[in-house]
């Protein structure tokens, strides 16, 4: 039903090979023939079959992108930059969203492999290192948000230590000492972030105040953590959340409980999502250059896909603290209002 190359060749009175060359932008086609072929193709509404092309040329202009959780705007921002980069280079993207399940992730990547994608970008995947190793073997791959020591895998990470130091420094300069951390649990980068918090606290002689509440990078887990802190009876004066979603969830619970942010408790998030800059939220946050993550990921990947590089690259970006309204000077220890 769709026109094929043979149809175009017949209509233009040339061979299929010539048509093929035209659609590959080969320089050895005479301008007159090129025009003839293009005219015939246009008249027939011909569109090259990417499947057949990939099969015959054994090189695929499609890359697979796996996002951990598409409903977190973090991933949307990374994806946006990444997609733009891919499109300008003429690559298509097969997308999968893992929904925070590692089994799901593996299925999705297996699907990518069936489609013989030319490369793989995994953004904060949940799956184990061995799964990553197995699935990416021999395929150009870039991992965003996690660090892994595999030959064929480039990584893009954030300098967690710098971020944690900046956030803690800010809080300490406001007089805070009792600073808790709500972690991302087993999520990508959570361990690093937690370690950076602990180390940062220790560096400042605040080791005795180290307190970690386990979360999972979702807003719900932030709510749970906030309730936990409230019922514990020992509210810290400040919280460093593992990401903005957690921070926002916590803010809501504190607000409902009559605990004022920032006069009763200061909160720092991580990711600097767009929503954090909203006036109603105004969350102090460690900004990660998400667009840079996405762009760098696709660039590194395509370098490998094009065969321009075979050595491993690890790129680390520097975060920046964005101070907003959710942090303030430490006040008198809040009395938890009666419900």
Partner DNA sequence: CCCAGCCATTGGAGCGCTCTAATGGAGTCT
Partner DNA sequence: AGACTCCATTAGAGCGCTCCAATGGCTGGG
Binding mask 261-280 for a copy of itself (x = CB under 8 A): -------------xx--xxx
Task: Judge residue 57's burial from the number of C-beta atoms within 10 Å of its C-beta, 0-12 exposed, 13-18 middle, 19 or more buried.
Answer: exposed
Which of 33/277 has CB closer to DNA? 33
Dist CA 182 CA 185 (whole Å): 9
By the rule CB under 7 A, 28 interacts with DNA: yes
Binding mask 28-47 for a copy of itself (x = CB under 8 A): -------------------x
Residue 191 CB, shortest distance to a copy of itself, in Å, is 26
Residue 162 CB, shortest distance to a copy of itself, in Å, is 26
Residue 150 CB, shortest distance to DNA, in Å, is 25
Task: Judge residue 308's burial from the number of C-beta atoms within 10 Å of its C-beta, 0-12 exposed, 13-18 middle, 19 or more buried.
Answer: exposed
- Non-local CB neighbours of 120 within 8 Å, separated by 6+ positions: 63, 64, 65, 66, 109, 112, 135, 136, 139, 140, 141, 142, 301
Among 3, 38, 44, 70, binds a copy of itself (CB under 8 A): 70
By the rule CB under 8 A, 103 interacts with a copy of itself: no
By the rule CB under 8 A, 130 interacts with a copy of itself: no
Which of 47/186 has CB closer to DNA? 47
Dist CA 46 CA 207 (whole Å): 68
Dist CA 266 CA 285 (whole Å): 11
In three-state secondary structure terms, 215 is coil
Size of residue set near a copy of itself by CB under 8 A:
53
By the rule CB under 7 A, 296 interacts with DNA: no
Among 43, 55, 103, 110, binds DNA (CB under 7 A): 55
What residues are paired with 227 via a beta bridge?
Answer: none
β-bridge pairing 92-97 and 119-123: unpaired
108 in Cβ contact with 66 (< 8 Å): yes
Residue 94 CB, shortest distance to DNA, in Å, is 18
Residue 46 CB, shortest distance to DNA, in Å, is 7
Dist CA 170 CA 320 (whole Å): 12
By the rule CB under 7 A, 18 interacts with DNA: yes
249 in Cβ contact with 269 (< 8 Å): no
Query: Could you list the residues that contact a copy of itself (CB under 8 A)?
Result: 1-2, 47-52, 54-55, 60, 62, 70-71, 73, 76-77, 79-80, 83-84, 87, 92-97, 99, 104, 107-108, 110-111, 113-116, 138, 219, 248-249, 251-253, 255-256, 274-275, 278-281
Query: Could you list the residues that contact DNA (CB under 7 A)?
Result: 2, 4-6, 14-18, 20-21, 23-24, 27-30, 32-33, 46, 48-49, 52-53, 55-59
């Amino acid at each position: 039903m769709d026109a094929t190359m043979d149809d175009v060749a017949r209509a233009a009175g040339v061979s299929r090979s010539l048509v093929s060359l035209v659609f590959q932008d080969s320089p050895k086609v005479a301008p007159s023939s090129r025009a003839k072929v293009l005219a015939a193709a246009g008249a027939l509404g011909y569109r090259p079959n990417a499947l057949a092309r990939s099969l015959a040329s054994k090189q695929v202009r499609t890359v697979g992108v796996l996002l951990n959780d598409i409903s977190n705007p973090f991933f949307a921002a990374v994806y946006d930059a990444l997609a733009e980069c891919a499109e300008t280079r003429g690559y298509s993207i097969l997308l999968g969203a893992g929904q925070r399940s590692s089994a799901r992730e593996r299925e999705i990547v297996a699907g990518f492999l069936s489609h013989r994608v030319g490369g793989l970008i995994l953004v904060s995947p949940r799956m184990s290192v061995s799964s990553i190793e197995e699935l990416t073997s021999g395929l150009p791959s870039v991992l965003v948000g996690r660090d892994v020591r595999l030959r064929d895998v480039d990584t893009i990470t954030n300098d967690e230590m710098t971020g944690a130091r900046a956030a803690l420094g800010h809080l300490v300069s406001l007089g805070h000492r009792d600073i808790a951390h709500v972690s991302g649990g087993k999520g990508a980068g959570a361990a690093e972030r937690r370690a950076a918090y602990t180390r940062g606290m220790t560096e400042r002689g605040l080791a005795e105040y180290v307190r970690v509440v386990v979360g999972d990078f979702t807003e719900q887990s932030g709510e749970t953590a906030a309730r936990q802190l409230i019922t514990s009876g020992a509210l810290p004066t400040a919280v460093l959340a593992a990401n903005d979603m957690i921070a926002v969830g916590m803010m809501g619970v504190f607000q409902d409980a009559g605990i004022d942010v920032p006069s009763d408790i200061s909160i720092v998030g991580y990711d600097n999502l767009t929503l954090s800059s909203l006036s109603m939220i105004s969350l102090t946050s460690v900004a990660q250059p998400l667009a840079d993550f996405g762009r760098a990921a696709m660039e590194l990947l395509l370098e490998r896909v094009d065969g321009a590089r075979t050595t491993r690259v690890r790129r680390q970006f520097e975060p920046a603290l964005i101070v907003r309204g959710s942090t303030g000077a430490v006040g008198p220890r809040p009395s938890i209002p009666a419900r």
